[in-house]
Amino acid sequence: MTSKSLLALAFAATALNASGSALAETYQWKDSSGQTVISDTPPPATVKSRRSIGGNQPSVVSEKPAEKVADSTKAPEGPKTTAEKDLEFKKRQQEAKEKADKQAKEQAAEAEKRDNCERAKRNLAALENNQPMVTLDENGQRKVMDTTQREQEMERARRFMAESCK
């Protein structure tokens, strides 16, 4: 035999061997202790459900009667396509962005609440210390607060503090 024919014969034998093992069926099931078993031999008859991983057999073999799917929104069984994985990834990214935005808004609102509380405390302290305070009248002219106006402003500052300093 020539070297070309020997090479062709070796290649054919290798291809035949590889194709024979590709057609072998592989089974997966859970045994009585809950362990997953993968084997090229069928599971014992006591196993209620099994799954065929390779070969020409159907991919899922079960002795249980087929059950109707109650929820049509369930994801299909089996490996996910690249498009499905990409969609899930984008969904997770969007959820993370929304969560970060919500957290940033909450932090900003909390910071504003603290600032308002501090301003209210300073305003109330100034009113209680009888420091001269002025208001603007309808013409924009300064007018010094009298005792009644000061008491009203102190009451309003206390209410505002009660709301913003919780």
pLDDT in tens, the chain (166 residues): 677 776 777 777 776 666 555 556 788 878 888 888 888 888 887 777 767 676 554 444 444 444 544 555 555 567 888 989 999 999 999 999 999 999 999 999 999 989 988 988 888 888 888 888 888 888 888 988 888 888 998 899 898 888 888 7
pTM for the structure as a whole: 0.41
Spell out a b/e string for 110-119, using b for 16 or more CB atoms within 10 Å of the CB, else e. eeeeeeebee
Compute the half-sphere exposure of residue 57: CA atoms within 13 Å on the CB side of its CA: 17
CA distance 39 to 13: 25
